[in-house]
Homo-oligomer: A and B are copies of this chain.
Amino acid sequence: MEYLTEIKVRGYHADFYGHVNNARYLEFFEEDRWARLESVIDLRQLAARGYVFLIVNINVNYRKAVPVGETLLVSTVLEKVGVRSSTLKQEIVFKRSREVAADALVTFVIIDTTGKAVPMEGEIRCDIEKLFP
């Protein structure tokens, strides 16, 4: 498993209970997706051509509360390429123990200028498989 993103958990990530807040995890997952995308794809160029990545579902399991001071690692792999959508599997683990703090299935589509989801075939399919091997 390759971890592009390392996050040191700070006071401002935590909530009332002193643990990382549910909404923050989605930022950590997003951080790793962007980290992978940016080396291969210029998002602004993609946007200029009228293509937009759109997340349609996130199914996240919160497995272990993360206190301030911990260091986390995030990973992303391609789980499935469907007809018009694809699904990533993302994990956040404790750096020290590699215990899973949270994992998520993230399903996205790519929409064109008409607002329709494009078929995940040909060049686009190749790009996705390159991005998230």
Chain A residues near B (Cβ < 8 Å): 8, 10-12, 14-18, 21-24, 26-27, 30-31, 34-35, 38, 43-44, 47, 52, 54-63, 65, 68-69
Contacts and interface: CB of A to CB of B under 8 A. Distances in A.
Contact of A24 (B18, B23, B68): B23
Number of copies of this kind of chain in the complex:
4
Contacts of A54: 62, 65
Nearest to A33: B10
12 contacts: A8-B35, A8-B38, A10-B16, A10-B30, A11-B16, A11-B17, A16-B68, A22-B55, A23-B24, A23-B26, A23-B30, A57-B61
B62 A57 contact: yes
